[in-house]
Amino acid sequence: YTFVIEALEVSAIKENAMTIALDHTIVPARDKKPAAKFFAEIFGLTVKPGEGYFTQVQINESLTFDFADDPERKQGASVDGHHYAFHVSEAEFDAIFKRVKEKELAYGSEPYAHTNGQIYSRRGGRGFYFQDPVGHLLEVMTVRETGS
Local confidence pLDDT in tens for the 148 residues of the chain: 334 444 444 444 555 556 788 999 999 998 999 999 999 999 999 999 988 899 999 999 999 999 999 877 666 656 678 999 999 999 999 999 999 999 999 999 999 999 999 999 998 999 999 999 888 999 999 999 886 5
pLDDT at 68: 93
pLDDT at res. 121: 95
The pTM is what?
Answer: 0.81
pLDDT the model gives residue 75: 62
Angle, alpha carbons 80-49-47 (nearest 5°): 45
Nearest to 89 by CA among 97, 100, 99: 97
